């Protein structure tokens, strides 16, 4: 049986298990004096039976699907007497065998190859049979076991809840393990990078030009991996962005939360949030084609040197992009300040603006700071706008009219090229990623901590 | 307004189901049992007016959106007088109190009708600036609401925004004085820089009282200031009210009859958004004119 069919059958079995478990519990209740005499509600008996019927079978099925190919391949390759040494050669051979099995004949097959192909087809066929048999036996057998165990004394609810808790835990772990996995992979690649480039050079070097000679005889730089210009570039662009986003976002939040009437609010808030839905590539477009030339022309008309791609253009547009982020978070926080505080201030004869400035904002400040820090980590991680509007030159500068580049942009350009995957150039991307990961992690940690502290104040 | 003729004799059972009050009002007056309770509930019995009125309210109606919370209330609060407002929960005491310094302005959909004056000036006049008005008519709220600032800054907030004290020493004095009068000084004098929100509920309420008297308002509105206080702190606040009476006018809402009897000269009894009876405190508690008042103070309901 094909796997999808098997899966559908399994789902059907689970439904049946639920139904039979449920009705058996009802029957047990009827003979024993009503639903009250059961240890749990009848539906829990149904779920319990369904879980026994479906869960182990599903897990086995999943494992099977994961390891199926690898095992079959090992068996097939093990049966071949003189296979090539290199992994690439083995891959090629196995691909040939697979093609042969599928009927796409490529050239003349040797008898040895044909044997192997027959072996493969054989294994696949019997594997499928084994799969079907195993899953069905498992599911029906365990389902029947659970079904037979139904009695008024069985505490089905507790068992079901225990299983549910494990499932929830597994889902929670999935997110954590993914993070840890990403971190580890980045970490190991970074370590490899640091074997060819010293950490100190990476962290404190002032020069970034990751061009390695492709061939030994090529004239060219040997590459410089000082990340400082990238981090200053990131800082510069993010700082400009925050310079735009924080005041504008905060003030629009204050307006929305404190001054705007219901009507204005119901229009303005969704409008502002539409800004958040615009893809960053569109912003980048806007920055590169409209804002950057405008800034260049403006600067030149004032007699300043400006390149056509500038940190200022990217920063400004990125700031606009982050405004809804800041304003929406701050708006929530300001709204969460209890009305009684405003009443208290107004009752003492404060004006509206005094109330906002001296009571509401200080009360909301920790939450606002948390929101701003989250916005900063967004600014740091933003790539598209910078790629399009700030350029690629790793200038070590604080002049916003020059073009700069950021960590994220460099990661992209490093990995886009066709370098070998273990050259320092490519590995440098991982080191940069690691640095980025660490710094945003720290920022997020601080932000969440601040926000949490704020929550405690009013709970 | 309020042409409703509610038979007070029938209104006592109506307590249990207030919504049926209008039905009962349709009963012919001849069915009533007592002569004294022929009175329309909308027509306040006793003496709601006084000569030297600091606050004068005439025919006040308050609406929350469609529903009316205060029905045609007229009342004077005399200079240097303490007026207690009592009545069952939800009868509109807080609502009425909040009219006096226009705190109802902050509630969306709340509408106040009628003539309210402070020293003869209209409170709801078109040219009135609510900011100085609220500085003159201070308020202590039903729930303690200290600012998330230090204890010192909580009390100093009012004097600072009104520019009452310019030098630090003056401010220190006002803060200490206010905290002493609210009976909180000894408990907090060593931790003035700690957040006010870290105090206990009763301490927070006394902090709010200190905060309100720090701006020396002419009128102080207190909405159940002692509901979270222990007997000792309550006694301290009552003492404070006695002190304040020398210079200030006070309106206090309370659920404690004893407290009303102890601190006030006049007592107003509210019922379902109407002012039923206003009299000298002694009269109200010893010889109430209205059946509803009597029923309430003797604990038959409410
Ligand atoms: N913000 C509001 N919006 C709508 N209705 C309100 C609002 N505040 C109060 N009310 C209604 O107005 C009526 C009077 O409420 P108010 O708070 O003045 O009662 P109270 O006498 O102070 O009661 P308590 O002794 O419980 O504090 C109640 O029926 C209440 O439901
Ligand atoms: Mg109240």
Residue A260 near chain B (CB below 8 Å)? no
* Atom 7 (ligand 1) nearest CA: B64
Give the residue extent of every domain in chain A: 3-171, 224-458
Tell me whether residues B135 and A359 touch, CB distance under 8 A: no
- CB contacts < 8 A, A to B, total 68
Tell me whether residues A347 and B147 touch, CB distance under 8 A: no
Tell me whether residues B158 and A344 touch, CB distance under 8 A: no
Task: Quote the ipTM score.
Answer: 0.81
Tell me whether residues B131 and A349 touch, CB distance under 8 A: yes
- Confidence check: pLDDT of B5 > 50: no
CATH of A224-458, one of 2.30.40.10, 2.60.300.12, 1.10.3720.10, 1.10.760.10: 1.10.3720.10
* Atom 19 (ligand 1) nearest CA: B90
Residues 359-418 of A with CB under 8 A from B: 359, 362-363
- Residue B281 · residue B82 · CB < 8 Å: no
User: Does ligand 1 lie within 6 Å of residue B93's CB atom?
Assistant: yes
* Atom 28 (ligand 1) nearest CA: B90
- CB contacts of B147 in chain A (<8 Å) are 341, 344-345, 359, 362-363
Q: Which whole number is the average pLDDT over B224-251?
A: 88
The chain A residue lying nearest B148, using CA atoms, is A363
Domain with B119, as residue range(s), is 33-143+219-297
User: Does ligand 1 lie within 6 Å of residue B1's CB atom?
Assistant: no
User: Does ligand 1 lie within 6 Å of residue B94's CB atom?
Assistant: yes
The pLDDT tens digits of the residues spanning B32-59 come to 333 333 344 657 888 888 888 899 999 9
Give the separation between CA A457 and CA B80, rounded to whole angstroms.
39
Residue B122's pLDDT is: 92
More confident residue, A426 or B261: B261
Tell me whether residues A350 and B131 touch, CB distance under 8 A: yes
The number of domains in chain B is 1
- CB contacts of B139 in chain A (<8 Å) are 347
Residue A97's pLDDT is: 84
Residue A73's pLDDT is: 87
Distance B69 CA to ligand 1 centre (A): 7
Which residues sit with Cβ closer than 5 angstroms to ligand 2, an ion?
B 94, 142
- CB contacts of B149 in chain A (<8 Å) are 362
- CB contacts of A340 in chain B (<8 Å) are 141, 143, 145
In a domain, B179, yes or no: no
* Pick from A170-174, A175-179, A273-277, B169-173: least confident: A273-277
What's the CATH code of the domain at B230? 3.40.50.300
Residue A219's pLDDT is: 55
Closest atom of ligand 1 to B109 CA is 3
Sheet with strand B249-253: strands edge to edge: B45-46, B274-280, B266-271, B82-86, B249-253, B219-223, B137-140
Tell me whether residues B162 and A347 touch, CB distance under 8 A: no
Distance from CA of B300 to the nearest CA of A (A): 33
The pLDDT tens digits of the residues spanning A100-116 come to 888 776 667 778 888 88
Q: Which whole number is the average pLDDT over A20-38?
A: 86
Ligand sitting nearest the alpha carbon of B85: 1
Q: Which residues pair with B78 in a beta bridge?
A: B53
Residue A107's pLDDT is: 67
Distance A28 CA to ligand 2 centre (A): 56
The chain A residue lying nearest B100, using CA atoms, is A347
In a domain, B148, yes or no: no
Q: What band does B222 get if pLDDT is binned at 50, 70 and 90?
A: very high
CB burial string B262-287: b at 16+ within 10 A, e below: bbbbbbbbbbbbbbbbbbebebbbee
User: Does ligand 1 lie within 6 Å of residue B63's CB atom?
Assistant: no
In 3D space, the residue among B245, B272, B253 whose CA is nearest the CA of residue B98 turns out to be B253
In a domain, B212, yes or no: no
Nearest-by-Cβ selection for B212 from A340, A342, A348: A348
The pLDDT tens digits of the residues spanning A380-394 come to 888 888 888 887 778
Return the percentage of chain A with pLDDT > 90, whole number: 31
- CB contacts of B133 in chain A (<8 Å) are 349
Residue A113's pLDDT is: 81
The pLDDT tens digits of the residues spanning A115-160 come to 888 888 888 889 889 999 999 999 999 999 999 988 888 888 999 9
Distance from CA of B225 to the nearest CA of A (A): 14
**Substitution site in B18, B64, B104, B257 for ligand 1 pocket (most atoms within 8 Å of beta carbon):** B64
């Amino acid at each position: 049986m094909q796997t999808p069919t098997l899966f559908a059958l399994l789902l059907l079995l689970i439904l049946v298990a639920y139904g039979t478990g449920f009705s058996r519990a009802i029957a047990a209740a009827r003979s024993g004096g009503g639903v009250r005499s059961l240890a749990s509600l009848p539906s829990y008996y149904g779920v319990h039976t369904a879980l026994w019927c479906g869960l182990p079978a599903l897990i086995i099925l999943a494992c099977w699907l994961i390891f199926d190919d690898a095992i079959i391949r090992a068996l097939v390759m093990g049966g071949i007497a003189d296979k090539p040494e290199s992994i690439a050669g083995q891959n090629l051979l196995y691909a040939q065998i697979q093609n042969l099995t599928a009927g796409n004949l490529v050239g003349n097959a040797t008898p040895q190859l044909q044997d192997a192909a027959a072996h493969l087809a054989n294994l696949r066929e019997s594997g499928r049979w084994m799969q079907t048999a195993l899953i069905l036996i498992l599911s029906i057998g365990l389902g029947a076991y659970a079904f037979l165990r139904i009695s008024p004394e069985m505490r089905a609810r507790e068992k079901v809840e225990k299983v549910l808790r494990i499932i929830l835990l597994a889902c929670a772990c999935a997110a954590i393990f993914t993070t840890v996995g990403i971190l580890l992979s980045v970490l190991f690649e970074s370590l490899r990078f640091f074997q060819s480039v010293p950490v100190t050079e990476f962290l404190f070097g002032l020069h970034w030009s990751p061009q390695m000679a492709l061939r030994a005889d090529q004239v060219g730089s040997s590459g410089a991996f000082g990340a400082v210009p990238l981090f200053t570039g990131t800082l510069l662009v993010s700082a400009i962005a925050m310079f735009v986003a924080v005041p504008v976002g905060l003030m629009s939040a204050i307006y929305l939360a404190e001054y705007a009437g219901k009507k204005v609010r119901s229009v303005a808030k969704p409008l502002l949030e539409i800004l958040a839905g615009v893809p960053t590539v569109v912003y980048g477009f806007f920055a590169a084609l409209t804002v950057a030339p405008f800034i260049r022309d403006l600067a030149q008309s004032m007699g300043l040197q400006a390149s056509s791609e500038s940190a200022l253009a990217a920063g400004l547009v990125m700031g606009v992009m982050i405004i809804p982020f800041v304003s929406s978070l701050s708006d929530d926080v300001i709204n969460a300040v209890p009305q009684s505080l405003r009443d208290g201030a107004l009752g003492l004869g404060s004006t509206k603006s005094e109330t906002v400035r001296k009571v509401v904002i200080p009360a909301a400040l920790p939450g606002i700071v948390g929101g701003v820090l989250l916005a900063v980590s967004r600014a740091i991680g933003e790539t598209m706008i910078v790629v399009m509007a700030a350029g690629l030159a790793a200038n070590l500068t604080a002049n916003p009219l020059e073009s700069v580049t950021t960590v994220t942009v460099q990661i992209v350009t490093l990995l886009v090229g066709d370098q070998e995957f273990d050259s320092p150039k490519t590995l440098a991307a991982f080191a940069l990623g690691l640095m980025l990961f660490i710094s945003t992690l720290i920022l997020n940690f601080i932000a969440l901590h601040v926000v949490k502290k704020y929550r405690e104040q009013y709970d | 307004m309020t042409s409703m003729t509610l038979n007070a004799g029938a209104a006592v059972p109506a307590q249990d189901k207030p919504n049926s009050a209008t039905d009962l009002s349709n009963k012919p007056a001849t069915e009533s049992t007592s002569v004294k309770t022929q009175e329309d509930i909308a027509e306040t019995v006793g003496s709601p007016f006084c000569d030297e009125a600091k606050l004068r309210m005439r025919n006040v109606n308050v609406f929350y959106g469609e529903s009316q919370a205060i029905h045609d209330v007229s009342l004077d609060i005399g200079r240097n007088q303490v007026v207690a407002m009592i009545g069952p929960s939800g009868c509109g005491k807080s609502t009425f109190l909040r009219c006096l310094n226009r705190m109802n302005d902050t509630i969306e959909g709340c509408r106040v009708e009628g003539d309210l004056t402070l020293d003869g000036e209209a409170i709801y006049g078109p040219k009135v600036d609510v900011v100085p008005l609220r500085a003159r008519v201070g308020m202590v709220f039903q729930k303690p609401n200290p600012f998330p600032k230090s204890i010192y800054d909580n009390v100093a907030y009012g004097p600072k925004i009104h520019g009452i004290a310019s030098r630090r020493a003056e401010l220190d004095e006002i803060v200490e004085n206010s905290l002493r009068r609210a009976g909180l000084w000894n408990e907090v004098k060593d931790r003035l820089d700690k957040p006010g929100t870290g105090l206990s509920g009763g301490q927070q309420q006394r902090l709010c009282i200190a905060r309100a008297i720090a701006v020396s308002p002419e009128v102080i509105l207190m909405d159940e200031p002692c509901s979270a206080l222990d007997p000792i702190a309550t006694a301290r606040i009552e003492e404070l009210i006695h002190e304040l009476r020398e210079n200030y006018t006070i309106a206090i809402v309370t659920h404690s009859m004893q407290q009303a009897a102890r601190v006030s000269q006049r007592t107003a009894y509210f019922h379902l958004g109407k002012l039923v009876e206003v009299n000298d405190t002694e009269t109200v508690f010893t010889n109430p004119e209205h059946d509803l008042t009597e029923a309430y103070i003797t604990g038959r309901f409410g």
